[in-house]
Amino acid sequence: MLPPVFNVLFDGFAYGMLLFVLSVGLSVTLGMMNFINLAHCAYAMLGGFVAVTLVDKVGWPFFAALPVAFLGAAAAAVVLERTLYRRLYKAPELEQVLLTIGIVFMSVATAAYLFGTVQMPIQTPAFLRGSLNVLGLTIGVYRLFLIAAGLLVAAVLVATLEYTRFGARVRAAVDNQRMAAGLGINVEAAFAITFALGSGLAGLGGALAIEIIGLDYFFAFQYLVYVLIVVSVGGLGSIGGSFLAAVLIGMSDMFGKYYFPEYGAFFIYAVMLIILIWRPAGLFGRR
Amino acid sequence: MTSLASPAAAQASATAVPALFTQGVNKRFGSLVVARDISIALPQGARYALIGPNGAGKTTLINLITGLLRPDSGRIQLGQEDITGLKPHQRVKRGLVRTFQINQLFPQLTAIEAVVLAVSERRGLSRNFWGTLTAHADVVDEAHGILKSLSLGEAATRLTRELPYGQQRLLEIALAMATKPKVLLLDEPAAGVPRDESAELFAAIAGLPSDITVLFIEHDMNLVFKFATRIIVLVQGAVLLEGTPEQIATDPRVREVYLGGANHG
Amino acid sequence: MGTPAAAATPYIFLKSQARWRVAEIIFWLATLLPFVLFPNYLSLASQIAITALFALSIDLVLGYAGIVTLGHAAFFGLGAYGAGLFSKFVWGEPLTGLVLAAAIAAVAGYLSSLVVVRFRHLAIIMITMGFGLLLHEAANKAHWLTGGTDGFQGVSMWPILGYFTFDLWGYTAYAYSLVVLFVVFLGVRRLIHSPFGLSLKGIRENWTRMPAIGAPSQSHLRKAYTISAAIAGIAGALLTQTTETVSLSVLSFERSADTVVMLVLGGTGKLYGALVGSLIFMVARDQFSGINPQLWYFWIGLLLVAVVMLLPNGVLGGLTQLVQRFRGKQP
């Protein structure tokens, strides 16, 4: 029989997997182009709302809605990248921050207008509900699913980076943008694709998140902080860093909220500050 | 490679402390060695040139000397003082100044403001947040004088980003001069300067006070042979050889490195 | 800037930059108009003046030194709560309250500057935001001290200089806020035109070059950050004193972000951008607040996107360009 702290750690790990799927896209695109995209969670929110609409209003099965959430978010990213983002690649950070905050404001307002301010429910398949009793711990089935999904995403990403030509180009661009361009790599094209994929992943994460952390019009803002913490702690451009940081933050947050409820979110802000001050480029970042 | 080519020179230098010298400076990034046991010595008032193919580590050496990079091992000495552990701005305060290969200027400041800034910093006036800029007329005069000495007098009130490239390059040198350097490291001062603007640049370099020790990195061999009394050749992070312009021009190893060699980066 | 005909010598040119322009004088005279034209809106005017002061403090570090901060409300809030506690437990004299608030905020500013100035780019955004969020959480939990979400009770102010009581219509409040704003503005304006101000601009314009001319950038930034924190603290204290209450929102991320938006709207690095941007934003929000608040966020978002894409120098920058083009000079 395992003590209850393992329950908290398990839940934290599952939460970390969710944070990973949500954050990894931002980490890679930040590492590649240094473009500060604070609207990242707006794509996540979009994916979530797409999933909710498909499942609840149109009646699609949950698993069919997931890829559409991914694609919807990716499509939105492509549109915004082509029209707005690409003009600001060389602009000062503040402008990137403000453009993307503006997009977040607009998406939050639109979501409230279209869906109201209530929590969105979602119908997950029956076999994902409920929990198992393992070694005295209550293991939520959906959380197990999340962990599997997170690991799968991580595996696919690592495989893509290591074994495909596209992945090699991405790695080169993250490593040294000027050199990569000098070697003939079309960095902007690689970035556009990476950005679309990263935002798509955020959309997927948004859809997956509904069951665990809920979805409402404020999601784009609310979880932005967590995602930024994961990205800065993990180090820009690092999948392994995002993974580790997401797990760390996920577990710290669960741990803090469970054992020290009076201090709430205090805990992870403190963790973030300590790590950033010790290693300003993040656990696995360069610079 | 030792730093002194002839015993006579060695004897002469033994009596005078070099303005700048490095000893056994090493630096690597992972498996990439960018500086390999570099030992050079610049006597007072020298006009030395540092040449080498792209990627040889010339700018890296400047970064190591000025403190932007920390060497893995070795010593850097400015006159009598070991400066290996000092921060970049502390080295500047002691008279070790560099210019950048790619202009590092202040786009939205006018030329005069930029030089006044450098002079104010040097004189420790920048801590003053109550007085006006013009309270010290001598600072403004000194700045204006520096601009005039580099043919930038007319451009004083123009915004840096509106200056033509050649004048920007001169401003780059003006900023360095404003700090009253003892040792000046010029990183490719003529880089990218069009032919019709290079006359002023050459004049500026020729006009540098003779008590300043100058080391410049250059690809433009005209400039090198015109101004350098001694040339150091750097290849793949190590000093290949050092000698007078005539010696370097005729050395077969140098020709191979530039023409026949496989170096590029 | 720098027309060929007018610039006789660089000395005269530099001197002319610090001169008071006619537009500035008109602006400050115009700030007196609310007393006459909008006597019903004096408490809003007071809020605008206070927000403008806060925006000014952010401009000092953001517009002039280039530090992107999303957590400056921490200092605003410290000043606000400091003044509140001072009034409740010591005495209600307003001016000493301002001094105390400035001191508390300055100390906090200095301490956090030790960490903040060592970073750039994303790290600095995260750290400033993190500090702000942390302080907000701490104040929320410490409701024995701050009143938490219920708000802080017990502020009561004495008359200013023993004579001007705080009235219900806001005359004293606005006059007080305006005077404080103006006095601090004078100080900041002087600072900007000093050698220190020039160094800050140098840091903003080229971070790499500063150490290369022997400038101790981090030391300069610490000073700027501390002064900025003190000013933010004064603004917070003003809010407490003029409204006789302190709510948790003084420390909120929203306050930090909104004020950065105002600053950018008006134009960074111009001092007046902070004032103009605050004016536009606050007036617009006041007009819109009757209507659906969600709608407000949509338009503000759209405005932000438009300003960034079309008017990167803010409203003032755009106006300056227009004026210069009108006069036939180069923008």
pLDDT at C130: 85
pTM higher than 0.90 = no
Instruction: Please state, in angstroms and rounded to a whole number, the distance separating the CA atoms of residues A206 and B117.
Output: 51
pLDDT at C308: 87
In a domain, C325, yes or no: no
Segments of chain B with pLDDT less than 50 = 1-4, 11, 261-265
pLDDT at B263: 44
Residues shown for chain A: 287
pLDDT at C329: 54
The DSSP bridge partners found for residue B183 are B96, B213
Number of domains in chain C: 2
Q: Check B128 against C9: CB less than 8 A apart.
A: no
Q: Are residues C44 and C110 in the same domain?
A: yes
Query: A158 CA to chain C: closest CA distance, Å?
Result: 25
In chain A, residues 151-190 whose CB comes closer than 8 Å to chain C:
none
CB B76 within 8 A of CB B161: no
Mapped to the 3 state alphabet, what secondary structure does chain A carry? CCCCHHHHHHHHHHHHHHHHHHHHHHHHHHHHHCCCCCCHHHHHHHHHHHHHHHHHHHCCCHHHHHHHHHHHHHHHHHHHHHHCHHHHCCCCHHHHHHHHHHHHHHHHHHHHHHHCCCCCCCCCCHHHCCEEEECCEEEEHHHHHHHHHHHHHHHHHHHHHHHCHHHHHHHHHHHCHHHHHHCCCCHHHHHHHHHHHHHHHHHHHHHHHHHHHCCCCCHHHHCHHHHHHHHHHHCCCCHHHHHHHHHHHHHHHHHHHHHCHHHCCHHHHHHHHHHHHHCCCCCCCCC
Q: Are residues C100 and C151 in the same domain?
A: yes
pLDDT at A155: 93
In a domain, C276, yes or no: no
Q: What percent of chain A has pLDDT over 90?
A: 37
Q: Are residues C45 and C85 in the same domain?
A: yes
Instruction: Please state, in angstroms and rounded to a whole number, the distance separating the CA atoms of residues C304 and C312.
Output: 10
Q: Residue C105: is its pLDDT beyond 90?
A: yes
Q: Are residues C25 and C52 in the same domain?
A: no
Instruction: Please state, in angstroms and rounded to a whole number, the distance separating the CA atoms of residues A19 and A249.
Output: 8
Which of C1, C15, C212 is closest, CB to CB, to B159?
Answer: C1
Q: Check A94 against C261: CB less than 8 A apart.
A: no
Instruction: Please state, in angstroms and rounded to a whole number, the distance separating the CA atoms of residues C210 and C200.
Output: 10
In a domain, C150, yes or no: yes
Which among C252, C282, C303 is the end of a domain? C252
Q: Residue C331: is its pLDDT beyond 70?
A: no
DSSP state of B57: S
Which among C226, C252, C278 is the end of a domain? C252
Q: Tell me the residue range of the domain where C186 lies.
A: 38-252
In a domain, C80, yes or no: yes
Of B47, B18, C304, C51, residue with least CA distance to A39: C304
Of B177, B232, B185, residue with least CA distance to B208: B177
ipTM of model:
0.84
Q: Are residues C10 and C144 in the same domain?
A: no
pLDDT at B264: 44
DSSP string spanning C232-263? Answer: HHHHHHHHHHHHT-B-GGGG-HHHHHHHHHHH
Q: Return the residue of A nearest to C123 by Cα.
A: A280
Q: Are residues C198 and C215 in the same domain?
A: yes
Q: Check C257 against A270: CB less than 8 A apart.
A: no
Question: Token pair of C241, please?
Answer: 């004193």
Query: C193 CA to chain B: closest CA distance, Å?
Result: 6
Instruction: Please state, in angstroms and rounded to a whole number, the distance separating the CA atoms of residues B122 and B137.
Output: 15
Q: Are residues C51 and C182 in the same domain?
A: yes
| B59 interfacial to chain C (CB closer than 8 Å) | no
Q: Are residues C202 and C91 in the same domain?
A: yes
Strand B47-51 to B230-235 pairing: parallel
Instruction: Please state, in angstroms and rounded to a whole number, the distance separating the CA atoms of residues B141 and B148.
Output: 10
Which among C209, C236, C252 is the end of a domain? C252
Which of C11, C196, C220 is closest, CB to CB, to B140?
Answer: C11
Instruction: Please state, in angstroms and rounded to a whole number, the distance separating the CA atoms of residues A168 and C95.
Output: 63
Q: Are residues C9 and C70 in the same domain?
A: no
Please report which confidence band the pLDDT of residue A236 belongs to, taking 50, 70 and 90 as the band edges. confident
Which of C15, C201, C208 is closest, CB to CB, to B109?
Answer: C201
Contacts of C2 in chain B (CB under 8 A): 110, 157-159
Instruction: Please state, in angstroms and rounded to a whole number, the distance separating the CA atoms of residues A170 and A32.
Output: 7
Q: Are residues C17 and C130 in the same domain?
A: no
CB A14 within 8 A of CB A151: no
In a domain, C324, yes or no: no
Give tens-digit pLDDT for A78-134.
999 999 998 888 888 888 888 998 999 999 999 998 988 888 888 888 888 888 887
Q: Are residues C1 and C98 in the same domain?
A: no
- Look-up of token digits 């005279």: C29
Q: What percent of chain C has pLDDT over 70?
A: 96
CB contact set of B208 (below 8 Å; sequence gap of 6+): B184, B214
Q: B206-210, C120-124, C310-314: which has the highest mean pLDDT?
A: B206-210
Q: Check B127 against C196: CB less than 8 A apart.
A: yes
In a domain, C188, yes or no: yes
In a domain, C304, yes or no: no
Q: Which of C308, C313, C315 is the best residue to mutate to test the A interface, defined by the most A CB atoms within 10 Å of its own CB?
A: C308
In a domain, C170, yes or no: yes
Q: Return the residue of C nearest to B177 by Cα.
A: C213
Instruction: Please state, in angstroms and rounded to a whole number, the distance separating the CA atoms of residues C22 and C144.
Output: 51
Q: Are residues C149 and C26 in the same domain?
A: no
| A130 interfacial to chain C (CB closer than 8 Å) | no
